[in-house]
Structure 1
């Protein structure tokens, strides 16, 4: 299956779960950086009260969501940049927010970009983008895998268990508590995980 087909091969919530363990990479000016996706959130488009495209909202800012499956959608909140990938197909504005990664490539470069210890390096959507060195929206409308950003759908670590929860920071609308956040249970790079929940032996991988 090509990476393009992956993003419209299933429902967005299912894709968000399947994406856990896949290798996210960025060809930064200072070298290749990246890691394994350990946390995602699915946004279900026009019906989803927490989605940027709720009730058909379409602006210059969220236009990438309306693009082909696999379109890069970078947006900013309070000065932090976040990475979303459009799913389904043109004019179906659903997407997946990449919330956290376990760094495995270019860790020294990432630490220079964001000098924070341990899991603090990439355990949140704004943190991982800062560590990757992405602080602009110039890659919007690109297709994942055709530019400097890639998610290798064929290179995936298998989680021992995928945990579900309500999304983080979603406080309005009837979709507030929908279990559309997915993460690798026991992985230290998951945002907000407690120290006693971490499995130091395998980080939650098989």
Structure 2
């Protein structure tokens, strides 16, 4: 795919129009791009997790926690929230109105733009391991700090595109990965494109090697 010159960017209204769970599944197939110093890189979102704010024991804002590091969560819908966890960086997009700290973790991308550069950013990785996880995709994009925090997709080099999306043939839902909560919060907060090999923890026997889980 050629670089995107004049992208139609998702607006803040997209991220507050309905529930965070619904937005999570609607993000699947959207094209995420990063205009990095080395050139444009990016791919299609294939996996995402919802975090429902102050009531969600898996969320960074659980029980109203508010510190400088998670302040972006309290921003306008569409705000970028990058944070360090377990030695890598991860990327959330804020949903719902300001002061309602809900967000969606982007967990997996299918590379589509600047693939050679992404491979240089994560050298000697098997193809499907390049971006199949939140830390992996941030390394492949070459984002290694929180300097984009509190920006939105209109003002930052990181963008999610409204058009040029792909349509999943099937969307599956499951419990979130690596998040330990009680049973009330264990299911259905992770959405992913069924059969796409860039989904983290996808078993090889479940790969759709012909269509990668897309309708188009």
Same fold, TM-score > 0.5, yes or no:
yes
What is residue 70 of structure 2 aligned with on the other side? 62
What is residue 133 of structure 1 aligned with on the other side? 142
What is residue 161 of structure 2 aligned with on the other side? 152
Contact preservation (8 Å) 1:50, 1:175: no
What is residue 3 of structure 1 aligned with on the other side? 11
TM-score, normalised to structure 1, is 0.97
List per-residue Cα deviations over 1:66-87 (Å, max 9, x = no partner): 0000000000112200000000
The total of aligned residue pairs comes to 206
Shift of 1:175: 4.6
Return 5+ residue gaps in structure 2 as ranges.
Answer: 1-8
What is residue 126 of structure 2 aligned with on the other side? 117
List per-residue Cα deviations over 1:125-172 (Å, max 9, x = no partner): 000000000000000000123210000122310000000000000113
CA distance in 1, matches of 2:154, 2:196: 26
Return 5+ residue gaps in structure 1 as ranges.
Answer: none
CA distance in 2, matches of 1:159, 1:109: 26
What is residue 29 of structure 2 aligned with on the other side? 21
Contact preservation (8 Å) 1:49, 1:174: no
Shift of 1:176: 4.2
The alignment partner of 1:38 has SS state of strand
Closer, same or farther: CA 129–174 of 1 in aligned 2, 3 Å: same
The alignment partner of 2:162 has SS state of strand
What is residue 52 of structure 2 aligned with on the other side? 44
Cα RMSD, aligned residues only: 1.2
Confirm or deny that 1:98 pairs with 2:98: no
1:79 aligned residue (77, 87, 110):
87
The alignment partner of 1:154 has SS state of coil
What is residue 201 of structure 1 aligned with on the other side? 210
Shift of 1:2: 5.1
TM-score, normalised to structure 2, is 0.93
